[in-house]
A = this chain, B = another copy of it.
Amino acid sequence: MTSNESGRRHTRDDVARTALRILDDDGLPDLTMRRLAAALDVQPSALYHHFPNKQTLLAELADRIVARAAQPASGLDWSDTVRAEAAALRDALLAYRDGAEVVSSTFALGLGAGAPLDRFTDAVTAGGFDDETARRAATALLHFVLGHVSHEQQRLQYDSLGVLADSASAEAGTDSAEAFAFGIDLLVGGLERVSRSRT
């Protein structure tokens, strides 16, 4: 359906694109190899010609999701660059249903989410911090972003199903973007108190 209307033969890119469409339309739980195969009008086993397993497919989707994060304007203060990177990453994750979950699940293996980590690391390094500090700050930033947006997206999902517990439902009412910015500000603020190797 992606590029071949009725004829067989798909490329790896077709498979990834169709998978992203299923993800966005129906969510991660419905993104099964069998459903993906059906959408491509192909047997499930055919998918294993393009990806060795589902995990590798999800890593590819994670890469594509984070690749759409906007580049911060140049000439910004290092701390504003960090804030801009965080906001851009959040927007990219929110652009696909369950986007944060996909990136999160893939991040642990060092397969996906390498790009966001590098971008945070570079932004912090520009503040004059040593490599170890920059890397640790970057993983803290990334953990917060993935956790926050995962939470945000799962609330959207459960809220639309009306299965949400009271406490979570109340929290969903407050502005997510503001709470997100606050968390990033805490990390950036904490970083500003850390001694720099060079200023």
Contact = CB atoms under 8 A, between A and B. Distances in A.
Given A139-B179, A183-B140, A154 B190 contact: no
Interface stretch (A42-50, A60-68, A105-113): A105-113
Contact of A109 (B142, B165, B182, B192): B165
Given A136-B179, A140-B186, A186-B140, A154 B110 contact: no
Contact of A190 (B143, B148, B171, B185): B185
Interface string A162-180: 0111111101001000010
A191 interface: yes
Interface in A112-141: 114, 132-133, 135-137, 139-140
Contact of A151 (B108, B133, B179, B194): B108
Q: A-side binding surface: helix, strand, loop or mixed?
A: helix
A157 B187 CA distance: 29
Give chain A's interface residue range (CB within 8 Å of chain B). 35 or more
Interface string A184-199: 0111111111100000
Among A107, A146, A174, A182, residue most surrounded by chain B Cβ atoms (within 10 Å): A182
A133 B132 CA distance: 29
A146 B147 CA distance: 8
Q: How many copies of this chain does the complex contain?
A: 2
A51 interface: no
A144 B187 CA distance: 10
A81 interface: no
Contacts of A193: 189, 192-193
A146 B171 CA distance: 19
Given A108-B151, A186-B186, A186-B191, 11 more contacts: A108-B155, A132-B174, A135-B171, A139-B148, A140-B187, A144-B144, A186-B194, A187-B187, A189-B190, A190-B190, A192-B193
